[in-house]
Amino acid sequence: MHGTALILIELGAVFLGLGLLGRLAAKFGMTPVPLYLVGGLLFGSGGMINLEGISEFGEIASEIGVILLLLMLGLEYTARELVTGLKSSWLAGVVDLVLNFAPGAALALFMGWGFVGALVLGGVTYVSSSGIIAKVLSDLGRLGNRETPVVLSILVLEDLAMAIYLPVLTATLAGLSFWGGLRTVGVAMATITLVLLAALRFGPQISRLIHSSDQENFLLKLIGAALLVAGLASAMHVSAAVGAFMLGIAISGSTAHSATKVLEPLRDLFAAMFFVVFGLNTDPTTIPAVLPLAILLAVVTSLTKVATGAWAAKRAGIGIPGRVRAGVALIARGEFSIVIAGLAVASGAVTGELAALATAYVLLLAVFGPIAARFAEHLSRPFLPKRSPSPDAAI
């Protein structure tokens, strides 16, 4: 069969399959991310059918998917909100980092995967899925709850931490020397600081430059700016994803709202390809061996996330049911965890076993997190004080 024809057939089958998987996920009220990963596992190396024809397109599409995921995440926040969140919730962010980075890093060291493995797996277990959590809170009607600002503050701090962590990870995976890595981190910190200052000072001007009443023109400028900034960031050894995230922060107001609406279908398309490509690059035969470790890690880090959210909510003066809801809401892992694992796999600096563990881990918590959030009210009941029976109860 002609090469172009094979590529078109494979792409058509993949996109159609993703649509069916998304419909199935919606039917059960869950995120489609785990199903996308499973789809990639089934049709990648070691799966039922090896889709080799789309490998080159898949790699480019998945890179664009990461850029759009992070761009739209940045659009959710303004620079002022990030600075305010950092000031008010930094201690909760520190607790979150310590409690949730440590289990992954410790397991990687125990398995003999070294410093790089610890840096990768610690990041995978640390960061919650902003996308999944935001959708769950919206679906459950909890956006107006008292504990929701606490949850969002922790997510904002994690996003900021990722803006520093990803350049460090990129430098480490590239095998740069200590001074080279230090320079990369310095450039990343300087870039983040400059973008935040520019967004605070010139946010309206940047938004006006990109905005357009013509949807086609608006989309072209958005995508062009995102790819350009991501490429420049990558050229400076700063993660392309971080560059896109910082651009999203710089865009504010009605422009950010319009950009979200315009980009959402493209984000979903390319992000789906990103998850599929990660699955394609993971050998499913390696997952059964690491499944017990993935389950253990999922249980431990679910508990640490619940402890993080509950502690932060308690500091905010929220009652026990709200504390439990806040903690359980943070359990889900998703896009960022796969981004981290994907960067590590693409560099060849980690073993296939670690990639399989990350995939199994994200699959477990991407499914369990939303389910647990739905039953958070029931989970809080054992911790509520017992009410004394009314004198009339016996009558």
Query: CATH code for 16-380?
Result: 1.20.1530.20
| pTM > 0.75: yes or no | no
Q: Helix, strand, coil proportions of the chain in percent (round to 5)?
A: 80, 0, 20
Q: Which of 284-288, 293-297, 380-384 has the highest mean pLDDT?
A: 293-297
* Per-residue pLDDT tens digits for 89-146: 788 889 999 999 999 999 999 998 888 889 999 999 999 987 678 777 777 778 678 8
* Per-residue pLDDT tens digits for 306-321: 999 999 999 888 988 8
Which is higher by pLDDT, 193 or 383? 193
CB 147 within 8 A of CB 325: yes
pLDDT of residue 394: 39
Residue 392: band (very low, low, confident or very high) from pLDDT cuts 50, 70, 90:
very low
* Per-residue pLDDT tens digits for 181-212: 667 667 767 766 776 677 677 777 888 888 88
- 3-class DSSP state for residue 363? helix
Q: How many whole angstroms separate alpha carbon 223 and alpha carbon 246? A: 14
CB 40 within 8 A of CB 275: yes
C-alpha to C-alpha distances, 97 to 108, 274, 304, nearest whole angstrom: 17, 26, 10
Amino acid present at 369: G
In terms of Cβ atoms closer than 10 Å to its own Cβ (0-12, 13-18, 19+), residue 272 is: buried
**Residue 393, pLDDT above cutoff 60:** no
Rg of the chain (C-alpha set): 21
CB 36 within 8 A of CB 30: no
- 3-class DSSP state for residue 391? coil
- 3-class DSSP state for residue 316? coil
**Residue 346, pLDDT above cutoff 80:** no
**Residue 350, pLDDT above cutoff 90:** no
In the numeric block, which tokens belong to residue 253?
């107001």
pLDDT of residue 125: 95
Q: How many CB atoms lie under 10 A from the CB of residue 264?
A: 12
Which is higher by pLDDT, 16 or 85? 16
Q: How many whole angstroms separate alpha carbon 122 and alpha carbon 120? A: 5
Task: Tell me which DSSP letter residue 285 carries.
Answer: G
Would you kindly state where each structural domain of the chain is located, as residue ranges?
Answer: 16-380
Residue 75: band (very low, low, confident or very high) from pLDDT cuts 50, 70, 90:
confident
Mean of the pLDDT values across residues 355-369?
86
pLDDT of residue 395: 40
Share of the chain above pLDDT 90, in %: 18
Q: Is the dihedral of CA 260, 265, 266, 269 positive or negative?
A: positive
Distance, CA of 281 to chain centre: 19
**Residue 9, pLDDT above cutoff 70:** yes
Q: How many whole angstroms separate alpha carbon 95 and alpha carbon 310? A: 11
Share of the chain above pLDDT 70, in %: 82
Mean of the pLDDT values across residues 155-159?
79
**Residue 152, pLDDT above cutoff 60:** yes
**Residue 391, pLDDT above cutoff 60:** no
pLDDT of residue 390: 45
Residue 53: band (very low, low, confident or very high) from pLDDT cuts 50, 70, 90:
low
First-residue to last-residue Cα distance in the chain: 83
CB 28 within 8 A of CB 265: no
Q: Range with the lowest mean pLDDT among 149-163, 175-189, 224-238?
A: 175-189
123 Cβ contact list (under 8 Å, min separation 6): 101, 104, 165, 169, 337, 340
**Residue 68, pLDDT above cutoff 80:** yes
Task: Tell me which DSSP letter residue 31 carries.
Answer: -
**Residue 385, pLDDT above cutoff 60:** no
Mean of the pLDDT values across residues 166-179?
73
Q: What is the largest CA-CA distance in the chain?
A: 84
Q: How many whole angstroms separate alpha carbon 302 and alpha carbon 371? A: 13
* Per-residue pLDDT tens digits for 227-282: 988 888 777 666 677 778 778 878 877 888 888 888 888 888 887 887 787 777 77
Mean of the pLDDT values across residues 152-161?
80
- Helices 148-173 and 130-139, interaxial angle, to 10°? 160
Residue 48: band (very low, low, confident or very high) from pLDDT cuts 50, 70, 90:
low
In the numeric block, which tokens belong to residue 102?
């440590």
pLDDT of residue 331: 94
- 3-class DSSP state for residue 331? coil
Mean of the pLDDT values across residues 341-353?
77
**Residue 81, pLDDT above cutoff 80:** no
Helix ranges (H only) for 253-351 are 253-280, 287-315, 320-329, 335-347
Phi, psi dihedrals of residue 132, rounded to the nearest 5°: -65, -45
